[in-house]
Structure 1
Amino acid sequence: MRVWVARMLKRAAAVLAIVAVTLLGIRAYDSQRGQPLESWHKYVPEELTADELDGGSWADYLKAETSLFDRVREEVTRKLPPEDRIPVNRYFDGSPIHPGRFPQDWNRSYALDPQGPLRGAVVFLHGLTDSPYSLRHIARRYSEHGFASIAIRLPGHGTVPAGLTDIDWEDWLAATRLTVREAQRRIGPGLPLHLVGFSNGGALAMMYALDALDDDRLVRPDRIVLISPMIGITAFARFAGLAGLPAIFPAFAKAAWLSVLPEFNPFKYNSFPINGARQSHLLTEALQRKIAAHASEGRLGELAPVITFQSVMDFTVSTRAIVSALYAHLPANGSELVLFDVNRNTKFGPLLSSASDTMLTRILPGPPRAFRTTIITNASPDSADVVERVVEAGTDAEVTRDLGLSYPIDVYSLSHVALPFPTSDPLYGLHPDLSEDFGINLGALAARGERGALIVSMDSLLRMSSNPFFGYLMGRIEEKLAPAPQLKAGDGR
């Protein structure tokens, strides 16, 4: 019997080995299709290490960042071959989308100081493959409310896509700590500190806030704002490292990339290295473990209130994980989840999947809940008018309020990338403000024509890239930013 079991185990191991080799062979073959690797996929800028970030200052980071961009200009832009000196290449300094030609390069870290009295500070953390550009609208509004707004370019971002091939999520977290130190330095003790995180930056904001519960050296935030936060991502990222194994052989270097695309976006990478997906997955795994551990210890009551803005339909992050891995663990601490439903009045209605139609009811537990729940949805299936449906924490009564807004008839849902951008955004807006020119209006393109004629996939053009309800989102954030009322004589406290 033992001999038979041993033989079966050997056969199973042999079969698994054959399957693994076959899959790796298929992956190696498949990776050779499509666009070739260019200099921006091969040159890896040297970022500061986590230890250097923890020991450095904001001024140190800006100095290193300047040197980083100088090296990219020398090693990539100035060495471009003639065939890459084209208008749709952001690394060609003669291109209308080259970031270096704009009055401000929004790929780089920045700080906005308020004009009036200082009322607090806020740290902005952008998403994966993204840049500080993505949160600039919210940063400006915070600044108008008296907050010092500090937005960091997270390591590996803003330069070349290859920057994400040699980075660890711990580097991003160390950069987050550095930025919080700078924010606290600017305001001193006594004034509020907010964290605003978009996508992968949302995971970093939560991880920092949880770390601050364990480490007295870290300043605790007073409010956490999450936009499409990466609390959980797709299962493929779990195996992304394996998919990149053929890249150990130089002939299969492209296997280290999930996609290799033209770089026509001045403030976001189009190409996506496997290591980026893997590091995000490792971050979300560590975050979910930490949330669960703090919940079991009863420590989440010390956490600042969290408000999250999330599209019900999100191809990048798991909306379900936001509920099950975060909000299901939060105590009644004033937190809120704001969900943007699909457009139930759209002319695409018959084409929407059944999963899209029922997503909202499947992800939310029944009331009462420990957190406030807000749903932005159609007043009725026959109406484009949008209402706010609110269930307060600890209750099961729903209150509906007309917002005086409507869903555009040709938009069937928001998307992961849309939420932080108004429809007037000059790059991503559905109705771009042309007073600011970034050389291309990606959100306003209405693609009609034959397939195969464009250098990008139709998916990237069809994806909603701005938020028709941005004013509502911003208003909800600003509820906590109103200037403090003037104290009357004898009313000191």
Structure 2
Amino acid sequence: MKSRLLGLSAIAAKRTWRLAIRLTTMLLLLCLAIIVGFTLYAVNELPPLQPWHTEHLHEEFSATKHGTIDFEEYLRREDKLFDDLRHKTAEWDTKNDAYIHSRFNPASPFHRLANGAPFNRSFTLSHPKPVGHALLIHGLTDSPYSMKALAEALHARAFEVTVLRLPGHGTLPSMMTEMRLRDWTAAVRIAARHVASRTPASQLFYIGGYSSGGTLALQYTLDSLGDEPLRKPDRVLLVSPAIKLTKVAALANILDLLGVVPIPALDKVHWQAIVAEYDPYKFNSFPVNATRQINRATKALQRALADASDSGLIARMPPVITWQSVVDSTVGADGATDILYPHLDGPQHRLVLFDVNRHQGLSSVQRPESKALIDALSQGARGYTLDVVANVNPESRQVSINRLNPEGETSSIETALNWPDHIVSVGHVALPFPPGDPVYGFMPGSGRDGIPSIGSWLLRGEDGAIAISLGALNRLRSNPFWPLIDADVGEIVASDLEKQKH
């Protein structure tokens, strides 16, 4: 009997082993098919690479090489980096059509629209008598410019504000193929240490970020809960934070594996998208590495949130306010609603959701998912305050703020703002910019020196007629309800200053 059992056990072990081999083989074949398929797509379908995709700068910050420097040295390295950029671009073929119409040509309208693009670099808005200090962090592929309006809102309330340029950004798209999460994390800590050192204990210290900058701001805050050397912020300000990506993002770990083969044609494998670089403050081309690094950042953040909840440290979390559009095709709203805010308890934490335009004239073309999200949050139990910016009623374009506190009490706050004609929603790339922004504003007349803003372009035609996707031009690039965020900032600062007195 014993020998028979041993025989059956051996047979079962062999079958299990064979099954494991088959599953592993199938998985490897699937990965190989994905890699080969993406490689064929990149090589055959993506446009030609330009110098800004292939050439690299040598003065960029690296956590491995420069992790112990202070912020002053970080800025000195940034000076050298932009000197390197000027020398590099001066060597390019000025007759190349792609260059002529790019952000890198000083004579191009895009360069002039941004007045030389000074906000691709870290900057500080100083104040002679600050009541507080803030560190703001921009998002993936863009630049410190995306935090400029929020920085100015805080500065108008007597804050000194530092906006950090993350490694890999503001110079050449090629530099995004080198950047690593550890570089971003190290840069944030260096900048936060600098800002905190300038902030007396009696003054407020805020940290905030947009998109992946929000990821990094949250990660720093969670790290500070249990790490005494890190100063804990008094408040966290988030705009469209990247907290959750689709599962497909994990494929970025393997997509560009064939890029290591030293064949020039395979250089395009490092890119998910190669697009004309006309935007003075945001890269349009998108490397595989960008997805890889932000996927790592969001996974690390999710683990940190879970760990803080399990350990009880989450109770020390400073007040978090998030401005988020219900429809967000970049990172989705569910990262904030399903992952971040369920961990936060107390009315001091507030989620502001900008609903879609629910005017009755648009009801026939609206998708049901956004309303389902609002209904679920409004009717379910919450430990935080929820604000919903929405139409007063289906017959009106005017919006109000519907506030629901954790106890279930509701109130309505009137505004003087209306949905502009032909705008159906705000979204990820629109939230941080005022409607009259000279680069991204949608308002008629937005722009600079007779050059219309990118957000105000009205082009219609067939896809393929121009080098830019016409669909991309239909995406709203600035926020008609920015005054609500600006007013929010004023109320937050006033409230926090009042609490400091007691």
Shorter-chain TM range is over 0.9
Offset, 1:71: 1.2
For residues 346 and 81 of structure 1, do their structure 2 counterparts lie closer, same or farther at Cα, with a shift above 3 Å needed?
farther
> Take 1:324 and 1:484, find their aligned partners in 2: how far apart are those partners?
27
Give the match for residue 20 of structure 1.
31
- Alignment root-mean-square deviation, CA: 2.4
1:48 and 2:81 matched? no
Give the match for residue 3 of structure 2.
none
Offset, 1:180: 1.4
DSSP-derived class of the 1:187 partner:
coil
Q: Normalised by the size of structure 1, how large is the TM-score?
A: 0.92
Offset, 1:423: 0.5
Deviations 1:408-440 (A, max 9, x none): 231111110111111100111111665745955
1:273 and 2:273 matched? no
For residues 17 and 307 of structure 1, do their structure 2 counterparts lie closer, same or farther at Cα, with a shift above 3 Å needed?
closer
Q: Superposed, which structure 2 residues align to 1:97-176 within 5 Å? A: 97-98=110-111, 102=115, 105-114=118-127, 116-176=128-188
DSSP-derived class of the 1:106 partner:
helix
- The alignment covers a number of residue pairs equal to 485
CA contact (8 A) 2:447 2:453 kept: no
For residues 52 and 190 of structure 1, do their structure 2 counterparts lie closer, same or farther at Cα, with a shift above 3 Å needed?
farther
1:455 and 2:461 matched? no
Find 1:208's aligned residue among 213, 220, 232: 220
Of stretches 218-227 and 346-355 in structure 1, the one that deviates more from structure 2 is 346-355
Deviations 1:447-466 (A, max 9, x none): 22233212111221111111
1:352 and 2:366 matched? yes
CA contact (8 A) 1:258 1:272 kept: yes
Q: Superposed, which structure 2 residues align to 1:401-440 within 5 Å? A: 401-431=413-443, 434=446, 436-437=448-449, 439-440=451-452
> Take 2:155 and 2:399, find their aligned partners in 1: how far apart are those partners?
29
For residues 386 and 216 of structure 1, do their structure 2 counterparts lie closer, same or farther at Cα, with a shift above 3 Å needed?
same
> Take 1:201 and 1:448, find their aligned partners in 2: how far apart are those partners?
33
> Take 1:85 and 1:148, find their aligned partners in 2: how far apart are those partners?
39
Matched AA of 1:446: L
Offset, 1:191: 0.9
DSSP-derived class of the 2:387 partner:
strand
Of stretches 64-73 and 149-158 in structure 1, the one that deviates more from structure 2 is 64-73
CA contact (8 A) 1:53 1:178 kept: no
Find 2:268's aligned residue among 254, 266, 284: 254
> Take 1:42 and 1:260, find their aligned partners in 2: how far apart are those partners?
12
Offset, 1:357: 3.9
Deviations 1:167-188 (A, max 9, x none): 1112111111111122123333
Q: Normalised by the size of structure 2, how large is the TM-score?
A: 0.90
1:381 and 2:387 matched? no
Matched AA of 1:386: V
Offset, 1:290: 0.5
Offset, 1:58: 2.2
DSSP-derived class of the 1:79 partner:
coil
> Take 1:158 and 1:354, find their aligned partners in 2: how far apart are those partners?
38
CA contact (8 A) 2:154 2:489 kept: no
CA contact (8 A) 2:113 2:451 kept: no
Find 2:91's aligned residue among 78, 96, 115: 78
Give the match for residue 66 of structure 1.
79
DSSP-derived class of the 1:480 partner:
helix
> Take 1:411 and 1:172, find their aligned partners in 2: how far apart are those partners?
35
Of stretches 410-419 and 445-454 in structure 1, the one that deviates more from structure 2 is 445-454
CA contact (8 A) 1:41 1:160 kept: yes
Find 1:180's aligned residue among 178, 184, 192: 192
Deviations 1:266-322 (A, max 9, x none): 010000111111110100100011111111111111111000000000011131121
**Percent of pairs with identical residues:** 32
Find 1:228's aligned residue among 240, 248, 251: 240
Find 1:322's aligned residue among 311, 314, 336: 336
Offset, 1:359: 3.2
For residues 53 and 202 of structure 1, do their structure 2 counterparts lie closer, same or farther at Cα, with a shift above 3 Å needed?
farther
DSSP-derived class of the 2:110 partner:
coil
Of stretches 239-248 and 53-62 in structure 1, the one that deviates more from structure 2 is 53-62
Give the match for residue 342 of structure 1.
356
DSSP-derived class of the 1:328 partner:
helix
Matched AA of 1:355: E
Which of the pair is proportionally richer in helix? 2
Matched AA of 1:460: A
DSSP-derived class of the 2:272 partner:
strand
For residues 410 and 229 of structure 1, do their structure 2 counterparts lie closer, same or farther at Cα, with a shift above 3 Å needed?
same
Of stretches 472-481 and 41-50 in structure 1, the one that deviates more from structure 2 is 41-50
Of stretches 424-433 and 469-478 in structure 1, the one that deviates more from structure 2 is 424-433
> Take 2:223 and 2:373, find their aligned partners in 1: how far apart are those partners?
32
CA contact (8 A) 2:140 2:211 kept: yes
For residues 199 and 83 of structure 1, do their structure 2 counterparts lie closer, same or farther at Cα, with a shift above 3 Å needed?
same
Give the match for residue 320 of structure 2.
306
> Take 2:35 and 2:198, find their aligned partners in 1: how far apart are those partners?
51
> Take 2:95 and 2:255, find their aligned partners in 1: how far apart are those partners?
33
Matched AA of 1:145: R
> Take 1:329 and 1:14, find their aligned partners in 2: how far apart are those partners?
40
DSSP-derived class of the 2:400 partner:
strand
> Take 2:67 and 2:97, find their aligned partners in 1: how far apart are those partners?
38
Of stretches 5-14 and 416-425 in structure 1, the one that deviates more from structure 2 is 5-14
For residues 53 and 186 of structure 1, do their structure 2 counterparts lie closer, same or farther at Cα, with a shift above 3 Å needed?
farther
Deviations 1:217-257 (A, max 9, x none): 11111011100001112222111121122212233221111
Matched AA of 1:204: L
CA contact (8 A) 1:107 1:133 kept: yes
CA contact (8 A) 1:266 1:438 kept: no
Give the match for residue 297 of structure 1.
311
The gaps in structure 1 that reach 5 residues or longer are 487-491
